[in-house]
Amino acid sequence: MPPPSQTNDGREPLAAITGAARRVGSFWDRVSDGLEIQTLWSQFFSEARASYRLYQAEIDWDQVRVGTRFQRFLAISRALFWVTILKLSPARRVYLLIVFLLLVAFAFNVRPFGIPREAEFLLVIGGLVFLLALELADRVTMKRDLEIAREIQHWLVPQSPPRLSGLDIAFSSRPANTVGGDYYDAFVPDGTGAEPVPQRLLLVVADVAGKSVPAALLMATFQASLRTMASASTPLPQLVARMNDYACAHSLNGRRFTTAFFADLEVDTRTLSYIRAGHNVPILRRASGELERLEAGDLPLGIQGGRSFACGSTSLHPGDLLVIYTDGVIEAINERDEEFGEGRLLDLLRTLPTQVAPATLQRLTCAVDSFVGTTRQHDDITWLVLRVE
């Protein structure tokens, strides 16, 4: 009888190796989400750099950049240690210090418990893994709550644009974190008076100062206020003044201001009235290719109450393209810390082919993503595109 390794002409060992390789490949695909090594490394480097920026922002660099090079190294290391450990709960800080002491004891071959060196090594590793598991449990709980918040935020913005003759609209928003402070809307205000009024389309893009949960909560109040105050008979300057007064009452003494762009389009005449409340300047590309900046406006909402806002006006014609965006677009950073910038956006708009609004939006988004590469997104990115047919 041939040896087991040679049974069936060696096909059984080959099948075992193939099966093991398949299982390893399946495990790796599940861990890496099918991403290539280069992409994984770029993503890890980007996340590490973002985390370092988070920690270093809390360090007083004027105090640690004194003395000799070695003294500066010790001062920076000590500052980073305290910034890191203070983010843990007090109980976990003590636990981590105990694990570190065990690690030092292992490094210097000290056995405080009289156990074998191998068992001491496993005890240290197990302690670190246990602490990691506790932190991951907190993150999973927080992520679940944030996912619910994202769903609620998703309900607050329109999922599809209004359908109006001769107008093609597309919009998108991508938060830097699970939830964000950007807001967009496009709707026809309800008529509340007895007198008939011309059909109007309100376009709004806003950016609440800050990111994540605090900005998302203020964004929700912004949406509720806008929908409550807007009506077919409310002039745009009056609407923005009311929104500003409301924002001032909830801005924490101006610390939570909101930049916004409001546009009021009379559908029949294609007359566009607009107010730019401290927001990035929207760009209107005429059918001829000429670019116009819609600059008329004033301070952001929530800075000073009881003020009026300057209102601009222009007319739209077939072939015109209006692009409204938040600062996450022009402040998008690549791996060399270069900003996308308004100049690149203007150059892009000059060369955009004539397409439907969703296709135009996709080209704009892809251009920014291509510029950024694998660098982690640091601010919310929102677009609203209107094309006149």
Q: Give 252-282 pLDDT, tens digit per residue.
A: 665 678 899 999 999 999 999 999 999 999 9
| Domain 160-388 indexed as CATH 3.40.50.12780 | no
> Average pLDDT of the chain?
84
Q: CA 315, 320, 322: angle at the middle one, nearest 5?
A: 85
* pLDDT for 192: 53
DSSP letter string over 125-147?
Answer: HHHHHHHHHHHHHHHHHHHHHHH
- Higher confidence at residue 83 or residue 53? 83
| CB-based contact 124:106 (threshold 8 Å) | yes
- Higher confidence at residue 7 or residue 191? 191
CA distance 285 to 293: 9
Task: Give the SS3 label for residue 83.
Answer: helix
* pLDDT for 72: 83
| CB-based contact 180:381 (threshold 8 Å) | no
CA distance 56 to 52: 6
CA distance 160 to 28: 38
* pLDDT for 1: 47
Helix ranges restricted to H, 37-116: 37-56, 61-64, 69-85, 90-107
The model's confidence at residue 9, banded by pLDDT at 50, 70 and 90, is: low
| Residue owning tokens 């607009």 | 274
- 190-199, Cβ contacts within 8 angstroms, sequence gap of 24 or more: 190/231, 190/232, 191/231, 191/232, 191/233, 192/231, 192/232, 192/233, 193/232, 193/233, 195/233, 197/232, 197/233, 198/266, 198/267, 198/268, 198/269, 199/164, 199/266, 199/267, 199/268
* pLDDT for 363: 95
The model's confidence at residue 191, banded by pLDDT at 50, 70 and 90, is: low
Q: Give 207-243 pLDDT, tens digit per residue.
A: 988 766 777 778 888 888 888 888 777 889 999 999 9
